[in-house]
Amino acid sequence: MDRRTFLATGTFLATTQVAGCSGGGSGGNGGNGDQVVETTSVSMTDSQFDPRNVAVESGATVTWTNDDSTDHTVTAASDNWSLDATVPGGASTSHPFEADGVYDVYCRFHGSADLTGMSMKVAVGDATISDPLGGSSGGGGY
């Protein structure tokens, strides 16, 4: 193999490897194209959680910040955890997630425990969100 062929092959492989790693912290996409984002920060804005599908490592603490002027809640919608925190506009609340699993969350004022309206999912550790929630904004009619 001559030098030009070697350099071209190396550049192609490096570009392919970098492209395969791109995604800006994405934990993957669901079948409907809704992204699961690796982050510990969630914004409450326009009566919705943003992002709506989050992946974190075991032991991570997720912080929800209310960027709206109205109150919201961070309320457990699944049986594998317990939290019901009211978060006034401009304030934050946090919760540590120790055990692997998928944790469902909703706002009592703008959503429902069936994950309609203002709701989200948190995947912890090796858990995978098999049915990510759609969209990143809008209050689901609330």
pLDDT above 90 covers what percent of the chain?
A: 69
Q: What's the pLDDT tens digit per position in 33-87? A: 378 999 999 999 999 999 999 999 999 999 999 999 999 999 999 999 999 999 9
Which residues have a Cβ under 8 Å from the Cβ of 72 and sit 6 or more positions away?
44, 47, 66, 86, 87, 107, 109, 110, 118
Between CA 107 and CA 113 the distance in angstroms is 8
Query: What global pTM score does this model have?
Result: 0.72
Domains within the chain, CATH numbers bracketed? 26-124 (2.60.40.420)
Q: What is the mean pLDDT of the chain?
A: 80
